[in-house]
Structures are given as structure tokens and as C-alpha cells.
């Protein structure tokens, strides 16, 4: 049974976009995934996002995606939201992934803007609507033009928000002005998808985070959020500034690479990467250690 949601916080407030652990030979590590999921929920996450970019979704098969969702739901689904990535640049394939995720027990769907093909806004509207129509699950849009090549325009977001199952947006657009208008006009639950902008997005109406650095600093993210909700702007700013080295260090290169390295340094499941991603060099690993230490992360 899923945790209790509200219209204001349909997936909770603090979620981590979880890596997909692999074994030494590159196979899916379901035991490791369950262990990592439990660790992240114990640390204070309300939910986990699986099969997203941080989950190396471009290199996992449909069958592996289903197995991962089922394993994580079994491990933590009674105390955390499990949101499954179902977005691709092929609407038909996305519908298949959405239905499979629902069958595997997911509590919600993450639908990224179709990438590479650069559809017009009408194409985005029809794509996301088709995904929302495909299952009974609530949907979080994922607006990340830096990867997809196309933003979801504010007018499109407002129209999509009329769908009863499109309830949230993960914002990695990096535009606080457009975020402000979209939040005000759409009424969607707004989640920061850019860790460096977690606090600024809260200030214009976001209700929480879908984080990468949550793999290593979930308690701090929770403290930042709680301080903001309690009106203690000074404390929230202090926590934000303390975490700046972590935000910077975890994105010196591609985020999955640094996240799996950080998990390895902490003795947590992550395992190797699948090509075209590659492990950090020894020099990059030492820099990551310095960045994490500067942000107060114990290794």
C-alpha cells in the first residue's frame, strides 16, 4: 500500500532519483537496489524515482526496468512513493513502459520531454496526455530542455495541468521566471530537479525536490526544506550554502558517474556503469572526496 499523498504533495516532498545498481559483471543488482532503497528511505526520503536518467534508463532493458520497480516496491513501497520513469521519445513505447510500471506496483510515473526528435508543443501536449491516459497512476512531468532539446512552454504546462492525473512537474529548466509563472498558473505540485536551485525554487512556490545529491545528503535536504517551511530563511540559506560544495562536486561531470563513485566511497550499492558512461579517474575521485568533505559528507 502506498504512503498517503495530498494534492499539494502528491509524492511527498523529498525524493531521490535513484541509481540502478549493477553487479561487477554489469548485470542488474536487485539485492543492491533493495538495500540502497531502504538506506535512502531510512535517511528521510519520502519517495524514490526509478528508471530515470540517474537510473541509466537509456541502457536498461524494459524487462530490467520492470524488475527494478517490483524489487523496490517490495522493499520500501509501504513507506515511500515509488515513481517509475516511463518517458521516451517514442510515445507508443512510453505507453508500454507506463502500463508495465503500473503492473509492477509503481505509485506514479515520471514522464520526460521527448528528446532528440524536438517535437512542437502540440506534440508534447498529445504525448504527455497519452501517457496520462494509459494508466490510473498520477504523472509527474519532467521538463529538462538541456537534455531534451525542447522546453515545455508555460501555456502547454497549464493545458496539461487540466488532466486529472497530471499532478506535478520536475523542473530542470533553470529559469526561475518561467517557473514562477507556471507554478502560479498551473497549480501543479512543483519539484526542483536541479539541486543547486532547490532553495530558490522553494522561494517561488516549489514544494520539494527530486534530487541527485539526495544519495549522500538527504538529512540536510530535509533540514533545508523544514527550515524554509517554518519560515527560517536564515537557517535555510545557511544549509544551502553549506551544501554548495556538494552541489558543485556531484556535477563536475555526469551525475550518475559521481553518484556511483560517492556510493562506492560510502560502501553502498551502486556498482559499475554501462557504456557510454565511464568511471571517474583517480584524480577525479580525489576531487570528489574533497568536494564532499567540504560539504560535511562523512566518507
Q: Residues with catalytic annotation?
A: 142, 170
Query: For residues 28 and 67, is the Cβ–Cβ distance under 8 A?
Result: yes
Transcribe 112-166 into DSSP letters. Answer: EPPPSS---HHHHHHHHHHHHHHSSS-EEEEE-HHHHS----HHHHHHHTTSTTE
210 annotated among ligand-binding-site residues:
yes
66-88 burial: b if 16+ Cβ within 10 Å, else e: bbbbbbbbebbbeebbbbbbbbb
C-alpha span between 23 and 162 (Å, rounded): 43
Of 68, 38, 32, nearest to 52 by C-alpha is: 68
54 annotated among ligand-binding-site residues:
yes
C-alpha span between 9 and 290 (Å, rounded): 35
| CA distances in angstroms from 33 to 21, 75, 228, 238, 250, listed in the order given | 6, 9, 31, 33, 20
| Strand, helix or coil for residue 30 | helix
Burial level of 65, CB count in 10 A (0-12/13-18/19+)? buried
Transcribe 237-251 into DSSP letters. Answer: HHHHHHTHHHHHHTT
Residue ranges of the binding site for pyruvate: 54, 210
Can you say which residues are annotated as belonging to the binding site? Answer: 54, 210
Amino acid at each position: 500500500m502506498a504512503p498517503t499523498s495530498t494534492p499539494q504533495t502528491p509524492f511527498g516532498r523529498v525524493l531521490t532519483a535513484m541509481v540502478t545498481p549493477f553487479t561487477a559483471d554489469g548485470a542488474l543488482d536487485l539485492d543492491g537496489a533493495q538495500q540502497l532503497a531502504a538506506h535512502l528511505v531510512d535517511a528521510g526520503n519520502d519517495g524514490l524515482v526509478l528508471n530515470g536518467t540517474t537510473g541509466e534508463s537509456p541502457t536498461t532493458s524494459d524487462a530490467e526496468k520492470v524488475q527494478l520497480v517490483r524489487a523496490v516496491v517490495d522493499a520500501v513501497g509501504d513507506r515511500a512513493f515509488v515513481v517509475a520513469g516511463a518517458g521516451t521519445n517514442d510515445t507508443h513505447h512510453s505507453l508500454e513502459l507506463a502500463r508495465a510500471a503500473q503492473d509492477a506496483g509503481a505509485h506514479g510515473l515520471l514522464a520526460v520531454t521527448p528528446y532528440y526528435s524536438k517535437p512542437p508543443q502540440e506534440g508534447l501536449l498529445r504525448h504527455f496526455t497519452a501517457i496520462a491516459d494509459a494508466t490510473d497512476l498520477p504523472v509527474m512531468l519532467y521538463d529538462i530542455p538541456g537534455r531534451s532539446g525542447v522546453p515545455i512552454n508555460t501555456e502547454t504546462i497549464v493545458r496539461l495541468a487540466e488532466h486529472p492525473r497530471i499532478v506535478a512537474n520536475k523542473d530542470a529548466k533553470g529559469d526561475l521566471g518561467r517557473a514562477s509563472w507556471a507554478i502560479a498558473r498551473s497549480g501543479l505540485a512543483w519539484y526542483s530537479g536541479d539541486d543547486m536551485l532547490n532553495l530558490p525554487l522553494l522561494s517561488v512556490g516549489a514544494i520539494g525536490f527530486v534530487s541527485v545529491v539526495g544519495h549522500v545528503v538527504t538529512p540536510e535536504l530535509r533540514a533545508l526544506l523544514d527550515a524554509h517551511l517554518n519560515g527560517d530563511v536564515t537557517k535555510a540559506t545557511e544549509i544551502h550554502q553549506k551544501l554548495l560544495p556538494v552541489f558543485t562536486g556531484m556535477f563536475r561531470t555526469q551525475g550518475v558517474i559521481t553518484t556511483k563513485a560517492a556510493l562506492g566511497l560510502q560502501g553502498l550499492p551502486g556498482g559499475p556503469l554501462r557504456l557510454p558512461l565511464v568511471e571517474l579517474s583517480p584524480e577525479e575521485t580525489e576531487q570528489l572526496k574533497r568536494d564532499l568533505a567540504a560539504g560535511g559528507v562523512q566518507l
